[in-house]
């Protein structure tokens, strides 16, 4: 296999991984998609699901080839299987690896001891195996690793891009930026960053660590080609991100639920900008032995500001949305200083898609097309707390069949379309909430 244009995308069946695989294929890279499909199994475990129906990986790949004439190779592989990963890297000897293949939910990692251990083993061991495989079989490969802004926490100083110069007792050094992670998931990301930094220093590997903010949106140039190419849209409290959840709540007439006082500030970016950031990193690789960190986001918002944006967008169309503040299931500062540097990707040429009412409108419109799939309990009720773990809502849904509940929801949607069983949206929500776990 030629290595010059080969890129392996790890975690290619996920929310960001799937659009990234298509994006690179469209750009002309020989793209190898790798996933062990565990994200879909985690949905079954927790009774959660994507609001948008997502096709099987086989149907996705076939549809992509049909529409574009391009082929994305696929391997079903778990990064914790070091031998299989060795064989993959030896077979393709890629120019770059884009690494998304990690458990990415903070609440999932806080359910209980087993989920915390599972998160850290999956993420840290998988990443370590990858480093060893690259050292053995592709030492010049560029590792592009998706980190998280949550690694830093919320320090009362400006957050730099990975490193900070410290002057102490007359001496000075450039050191990794101090980190106070938000969860066991974020702690696994910190360990990944340290291990990658070490491998670059000692083995001469090269890596870009992208500390990404909260991603929103669902549509890219490629996902828009056909419903079979759609990526996930998660709305529940375990997997759904803040703005995506707020748009689903507004579109379905449910209250917008803000945790705590709502002053929690984070960096955010459009999913299309994630594609652009990774492409820029890929096209501008680091030198051998270099470990660099880019803070990957475009704007900062508090939760209250995000809720206000959604409320204003709906009001412009004559709809009122209610904002309610829930007791915060997380242990975090609810009002704090937050100012993070994010200039490196802009310097490389990133042209951001800034959040606007048009984006909110398009997301709301998309949600309304699939409103019958929304489970109001999953949407409105946090199922995991930082101090207590999985609560009654987690236990209510865990182990239930999301697929059977989705089939029931689809049947009800057809009935309503035919005029049978029609009723008010409020009555429908009450019926769903009263059921043993609602729809899935």
pTM: 0.91
Q: What's the rounded Cα separation, in Å, for the pair 213 and 209?
A: 13
Q: Any residues with CB less than 8 A from the CB of 433 and at least 6 apart, and which? A: 376, 377
Helix (H, G, I), strand (E, B) or coil at 422: coil
Q: What's the rounded Cα separation, in Å, for the pair 213 and 296?
A: 6
Structural domains of the chain ordered from first start:
6-216+269-298 (3.40.50.720)
The torsion defined by the Cα of 106, 108, 114 and 118, in degrees rounded to 10, comes to -70
Q: What's the rounded Cα separation, in Å, for the pair 399 and 161?
A: 41
Q: What's the rounded Cα separation, in Å, for the pair 80 and 107?
A: 22
Q: List pLDDT tens digits, range 145-192.
A: 999 999 999 999 999 999 999 999 999 999 999 999 999 999 999 999
Q: What's the rounded Cα separation, in Å, for the pair 252 and 424?
A: 12
- Would you state the pLDDT for residue 430? 39
Residues of the chain scoring pLDDT < 70: 1-4, 401-417, 419-440
Return the bridge partners of 259, or none: 326
- Would you state the pLDDT for residue 418? 73
- Would you state the pLDDT for residue 403? 63
Q: What's the rounded Cα separation, in Å, for the pair 176 and 407?
A: 49
């Amino acid at each position: 296999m030629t290595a010059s244009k080969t890129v392996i995308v790890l975690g290619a069946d996920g929310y960001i991984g799937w659009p990234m695989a298509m994006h690179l294929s469209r750009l002309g890279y020989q793209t190898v998609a790798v996933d062990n499909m565990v994200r879909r199994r985690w949905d079954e475990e927790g009774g959660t699901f994507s609001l948008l129906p997502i096709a099987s990986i086989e149907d996705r790949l076939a549809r992509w080839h049909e529409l574009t004439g391009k082929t994305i190779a696929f391997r079903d592989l778990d990064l914790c299987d070091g031998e299989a990963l060795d064989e993959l890297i030896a077979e393709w000897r890629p120019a770059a690896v884009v690494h998304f293949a990690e458990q990415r939910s903070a609440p999932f990692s806080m359910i209980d001891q087993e989920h915390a251990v599972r998160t850290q083993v999956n993420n840290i061991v998988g990443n370590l195996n990858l480093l060893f495989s690259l050292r053995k079989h592709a030492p010049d490969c560029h590792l592009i690793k998706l980190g998280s802004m949550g690694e830093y926490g919320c320090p009362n100083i400006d957050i730099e891009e990975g490193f900070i110069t410290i002057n102490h007792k007359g001496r000075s050094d450039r050191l990794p930026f101090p980190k106070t992670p938000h969860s066991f998931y974020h702690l696994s990301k910190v360990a990944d960053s340290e291990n990658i930094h070490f491998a670059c220093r000692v083995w001469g590997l090269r890596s870009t660590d992208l500390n990404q903010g909260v991603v929103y949106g669902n549509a890219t140039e490629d996902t828009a080609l056909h419903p079979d190419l759609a990526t996930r849209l998660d709305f529940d409290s375990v997997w759904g991100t803040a703005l995506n959840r707020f748009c689903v709540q507004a579109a379905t007439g449910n209250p917008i639920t803000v945790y705590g006082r709502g002053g929690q500030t984070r960096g955010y970016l459009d999913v299309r900008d994630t594609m652009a950031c990774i492409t820029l990193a890929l096209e501008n690789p680091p030198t051998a032995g270099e470990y660099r960190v880019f803070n990957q986001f475009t704007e900062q918002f508090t939760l209250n500001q995000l809720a206000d944006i959604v409320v204003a967008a709906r009001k412009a169309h004559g709809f009122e949305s209610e904002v309610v503040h829930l007791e915060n299931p997380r242990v975090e500062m609810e009002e704090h200083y937050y100012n993070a540097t994010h200039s490196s990707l802009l310097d490389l040429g990133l042209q951001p898609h800034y959040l606007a009412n048009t984006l909110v409108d398009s997301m709301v419109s998309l949600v309304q097309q699939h409103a019958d799939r929304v489970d109001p309990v999953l949407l409105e009720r946090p199922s995991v707390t930082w101090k207590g773990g999985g609560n009654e809502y987690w236990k209510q849904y865990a182990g239930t069949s999301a697929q059977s509940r989705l089939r029931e929801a689809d049947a009800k949607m057809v009935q309503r379309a035919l005029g049978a069983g029609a009723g008010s949206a409020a009555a429908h929500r009450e019926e769903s909430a009263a059921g043993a776990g609602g729809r899935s």
